[in-house]
Chains A and B, each alone.
Chain A
Amino acid sequence: MKDYDIVIVGGGPAGLAAAAAAKKAGSDSILIIERDRELGGILNQCIHNGFGLHTFKEELTGPEYAQRFIDEVLTLGIDYRLDTMVMDIAPDKTVTAMNRTDGMFQIKAKAVVLCMGCRERPRGALNIPGYRPAGIFSAGTAQRLVNIEGYMPGREVVILGSGDIGLIMARRMTLEGAIVKVVAEVMPYSGGLKRNIVQCLNDFDIPLLLSHTVIDIEGKEHIKAVTIAEVGPDRKPIKGTEVRYTCDTLLLSVGLIPENELSRNAGVEMNPVTNGPIVNESLETSIPGVFACGNVLHVHDLVDFVSEEAKKAGENAAAFVLGKAQEESGQKITLHGESGVRYTVPSHIDPKRLSDNLTVRFRVGDIYKDSYVSVYYGNERVRHVKKRIIAPGEMEQVVLLKDDLLKRPELTDITLKIEEA
């Protein structure tokens, strides 16, 4: 296996966009390593529409959206390996990978772009009491079985968690003739997009129980029923509110976890809130030349934003290997999330290295109505934008202008806050 300047770990939406952008930015030595049999990542099983509204101004299905980027990667002649697993990324950017034909091989890369995506939180992590029968799936596993393999897990479905995949699967299972009895969400708000609540639950009269959770699972071999109870503000079940639902399938959509085992082993510094790497304005991690984008960095709601973020990471990786990256100026501005803002991506910026502006993405920890997103440069409030609703299930962003920052050479801290009216 020959060496490559840039190794892109993952051929999903982030990896594809990063590769195309790196190539267009002048790098001719790029390899995408994908563990699945096809490029496109999780989009291949997302056969519903609603992708690409921002990027292409049209509504595409997941595979259609992926295909646009796959076509671009193919047209640009970018190398890729399928069915290939990255086993290790060393701090010196030696990537060890393995597949059936090349065996185990190492590539000494000059830059690595982390595009591994995320995985679903399993039942075990929730420690739901009860039996451990067949018929319990994370929503994405069920989605794969239905949409790719063409098999139904069952006919009578209960869904725990209102993450987007769970909501999408509520509709999908209904369209396949299953009865989705209820979606229970332990938090007092949904974890998914508003549009998915409307289009996947409300339109099919599927009840969403907020502040409810599964407290027991019945069935020794195959699941037979679950008990759902209301939870108090401490998220503990309230006695007397238990309702039993018979079912043959329990789907879980209870959170996504960025897949950062490789990043951690490489020694990349992590953000405990996002479970993704800490990155700077260039989406570069604590290891110079190692970049991160997409769901491995922080979980996104819309693939359009993944593509946009990955494009930047790809361009920056190319600039890094071509020696075109702007020198560090020494000014480091740290970004903080406060009063409801759980995190920001990036975590710190060097204003001289910005192109002309910087999109800062963040999530909030609660529902805020008619509140303001405020940006503070030090103690100075420079932005105060009213929003009708801000919810944990929807990623937010503010754009910082390079010129604004360059005018403040003493600036060390930027704070994002949610402020009530």
Chain B
Amino acid sequence: MLYDVIVIGAGITGAAVARELSRYELSVCVLEKGEDVCSGTTKANSAIIHAGYDALPGSMKAKMNVEGNRMFDELSKTLDFPFRRNGSFVVCLDENEKDGIRSLYDRGIKNGVTDMEILDGEGARALEKNLSEKTVSVLYAKTAGIVCPFKMNIAYAENAYENGADFFFNTEVEKISKNNDGTWLLSTNNGTYKTRVIVNAAGVYADKFHNMVSEKKLHITPRRGEYNLLDKTAGGIVDRTIFQLPTKKGKGVLVAPTVHGNVIVGPTSVETPDHEETRTTQEGIDFLTEKAVSCIPKLPMRQVITGFAGLRAHEDGGDFILGPADPEETFFDCAGIESPGLSSAPAIGVLVSGMIKDRLKAKEKASFKPERKDILNPANLSIEERNRLIKENPAYGRIICRCESVTEGEIIDAIRRPLGARSLDGIKRRTRAGMGRCQAGFCSPRVMEIICRETGLSLTDITKSGGDSKIVMCRTKGVRED
């Protein structure tokens, strides 16, 4: 079939564009090389919604960030994903660097950021008591927030799907060519796909696809960022997102609460030629600890429950590239989407879908349903409501993940719902099963069993995150296959 639009990549940008496109009378398809949505950059980042004072005035980053930020209150309700405007601090620890706070404030004003305030050390510590006593000046941005990037990405994708978009996973685009009639042909490991318009939301690979069709070359360098996640027992050490003012000695790291009550510390920033190099290093871990503790001296780094790394798609020009790839009018880039990409995704979705709608002269779709409901979380119910639910569906009475109190009902929902999970990571990102302090030690065999029962897969088919990431290899020698 000939699609109106094919989006390459089911990360936050691709999913947001697909969802906004699904408002219109257009056939939309998303091709994703991973086994699930949220498999690349979106799954490993700071989970921060920036206020927008960071980017250079006039840049796409500044514009998209500030616009995107404003959309979150309503969007998080419509699409039902966790978001909290917790505010952010940029902390200056050195009297000589204090001017930097003022420059950031001025830049924020130019970018259209509201609700900013400059605090002195005392004023800042009155709000964040665990802040270093060396704090001399702080930029307080009240519009900054925190979000669950997995749930946001999944929500966008599910809503796009429910509004008619097709999704194909484990489908890697290998070649793009143009037919004589002006339509595009995408060759993948999973057959060929035809479309009028392409959206290139391929994250760290966006330059590769852009360069297939345009002579104005892009060049993306993945920047590896390492993070540490702390146990919920460390939650509450900070309420706001604490950034450090970049100084001549280098960039600091952020310390922030997550929407789920953990504490996140990171990132490092190391350029790598390897587009899949999501590894952590001892140097990185040491750097995170040193920097984070300089700002929050009491931060209990011994309570780390996991470390991970993500790759940011840094383009040489340093800005987002949004729009048609010269000379093609039907190939739209969403390239160079590094920080503040998550904050900007809602605005990018609207901007790029708008360009495509105009190009294809598409009409709004009367049947478009903007709302989407997340997996029911019984922990938010009263005992009476919970008991009614368990009576209706006993699976909500059985806890599978002890650390995060996730029930079998939630896991079944995660599998059965649109674009349902098929891997342990897929379940984890949708329900938090396995994301707690034991890091799936107890629940993984049980989750595997439920996936098998629900999907008919066998235990040896179950993966951590698709591809070759199988959990078990074969039966023990004493077991008869029957």
B-chain residues with CB within 8 Å of residue A130 when the two chains form the complex: 279-280
Q: Distance in Å from the Cβ of A56 to the closest Cβ of chain B?
A: 27
Task: Give CA–CA (A130, B278) in the complex, Å.
Answer: 8
Contact with B along A112-134 (1 / 0, CB 8 A): 00000001101111010111111
Contact with A along B191-230 (1 / 0, CB 8 A): 0000000000000000000000000000000000000110
A-chain residues with CB within 8 Å of residue B102 when the two chains form the complex: none
A-chain residues with CB within 8 Å of residue B306 when the two chains form the complex: 122-124
Partner of B279, one of A35, A101, A129: A129
B-chain residues with CB within 8 Å of residue A187 when the two chains form the complex: none
Q: Would you call A215 an interface residue if the criterion is a C-beta within 8 Å of the partner chain's C-beta atoms?
A: yes
Q: Would you call B463 an interface residue if the criterion is a C-beta within 8 Å of the partner chain's C-beta atoms?
A: yes
Which one of A98, A134, A261 has the greatest number of beta carbons of chain B within 10 Å?
A134
Q: Would you call B367 an interface residue if the criterion is a C-beta within 8 Å of the partner chain's C-beta atoms?
A: no
Among A204-239, those with CB < 8 Å from B are 215, 217, 220-222, 237
Contact with B along A150-165 (1 / 0, CB 8 A): 1111110000000000
- Using A100-B394, A104-B383, A134-B470 as known contacts, say yes or no to A150 and B278 having CB atoms under 8 A apart: no
Among A165-218, those with CB < 8 Å from B are 176-177, 215, 217
Q: Distance in Å from the Cβ of A227 to the closest Cβ of chain B?
A: 11
Q: Would you call A149 an interface residue if the criterion is a C-beta within 8 Å of the partner chain's C-beta atoms?
A: yes
- Chain A interface helix/strand/loop/mixed: mixed
Task: Give CA–CA (A46, B273) in the complex, Å.
Answer: 46
Task: Give CA–CA (A409, B281) in the complex, Å.
Answer: 58
Q: Would you call A44 an interface residue if the criterion is a C-beta within 8 Å of the partner chain's C-beta atoms?
A: no
Q: Which segment, of B137-145, B395-403, B414-422, faces chain A?
A: B395-403
Contact indicator A104/B441 (Cβ below 8 Å)? no
Q: Would you call A141 an interface residue if the criterion is a C-beta within 8 Å of the partner chain's C-beta atoms?
A: yes
- Using A103-B386, A119-B438, A152-B475 as known contacts, say yes or no to A133 and B305 having CB atoms under 8 A apart: no
Contact with A along B451-482 (1 / 0, CB 8 A): 00000000110011111111111111111000
Q: Would you call B119 an interface residue if the criterion is a C-beta within 8 Å of the partner chain's C-beta atoms?
A: no
B-chain residues with CB within 8 Å of residue A144 when the two chains form the complex: 445
Contact with B along A72-115 (1 / 0, CB 8 A): 00000000000101010000000000111111100000000000
Q: Would you call B96 an interface residue if the criterion is a C-beta within 8 Å of the partner chain's C-beta atoms?
A: no
Contact with A along B272-296 (1 / 0, CB 8 A): 0000101111101100000000000
A-chain residues with CB within 8 Å of residue B473 when the two chains form the complex: 151-155, 248
Contact with A along B158-193 (1 / 0, CB 8 A): 000000000000000000000000000000000000
Contact indicator B281/A129 (Cβ below 8 Å)? yes
Contact indicator B405/A134 (Cβ below 8 Å)? no
Contact indicator A221/B305 (Cβ below 8 Å)? no
- Using A127-B304, A129-B284 as known contacts, say yes or no to A176 and B477 having CB atoms under 8 A apart: yes
Task: Give CA–CA (A141, B278) in the complex, Å.
Answer: 25
Partner of B282, one of A132, A215, A222: A215
Among B251-282, those with CB < 8 Å from A are 276, 278-282
Contact indicator B304/A124 (Cβ below 8 Å)? yes
Task: Give CA–CA (A129, B282) in the complex, Å.
Answer: 6
Contact indicator A149/B445 (Cβ below 8 Å)? yes
Contact indicator B469/A87 (Cβ below 8 Å)? no
Contact with B along A136-149 (1 / 0, CB 8 A): 01101100111011
Contact indicator B391/A127 (Cβ below 8 Å)? no
Which one of A124, A140, A146, A150 has the greatest number of beta carbons of chain B within 10 Å?
A124
- Using A127-B304, A132-B308 as known contacts, say yes or no to A150 and B441 having CB atoms under 8 A apart: no
A-chain residues with CB within 8 Å of residue B469 when the two chains form the complex: 133-134, 221-222
A-chain residues with CB within 8 Å of residue B464 when the two chains form the complex: 133-134, 221
A-chain residues with CB within 8 Å of residue B465 when the two chains form the complex: 134, 221
Q: Would you call B307 an interface residue if the criterion is a C-beta within 8 Å of the partner chain's C-beta atoms?
A: yes
B-chain residues with CB within 8 Å of residue A148 when the two chains form the complex: 445
Contact indicator B308/A152 (Cβ below 8 Å)? no
A-chain residues with CB within 8 Å of residue B285 when the two chains form the complex: 127, 129
- Using A120-B441, A141-B445 as known contacts, say yes or no to A103 and B391 having CB atoms under 8 A apart: yes
Q: Distance in Å from the Cβ of B316 to the closest Cβ of chain A?
A: 26
- Using A100-B390, A127-B307, A149-B459 as known contacts, say yes or no to A140 and B470 having CB atoms under 8 A apart: no
Task: Give CA–CA (A98, B381) in the complex, Å.
Answer: 14
A interface residues, Cβ below 8 angstroms from B: 35, 83, 85, 87, 98-104, 119-120, 122-125, 127, 129-134, 137-138, 140-141, 144-146, 148-155, 176-177, 215, 217, 220-222, 237, 248, 261
Q: 11 A–B contact pairs at CB < 8 A?
A: A98-B397, A98-B399, A100-B394, A100-B397, A104-B390, A119-B442, A129-B284, A137-B441, A151-B472, A153-B471, A215-B282
Which 9 A-B residue pairs are closest in the complex by CB-CB distance?
Answer: A124-B306, A122-B439, A100-B394, A134-B469, A134-B464, A103-B387, A151-B472, A85-B399, A221-B468
Beyond A122-B440, A134-B463, A261-B403, 19 additional pairs, beta carbon < 8 A: A87-B405, A99-B397, A100-B390, A100-B395, A122-B441, A123-B439, A124-B305, A124-B439, A127-B307, A129-B280, A132-B308, A134-B465, A137-B441, A140-B441, A141-B445, A144-B445, A149-B445, A221-B464, A221-B467
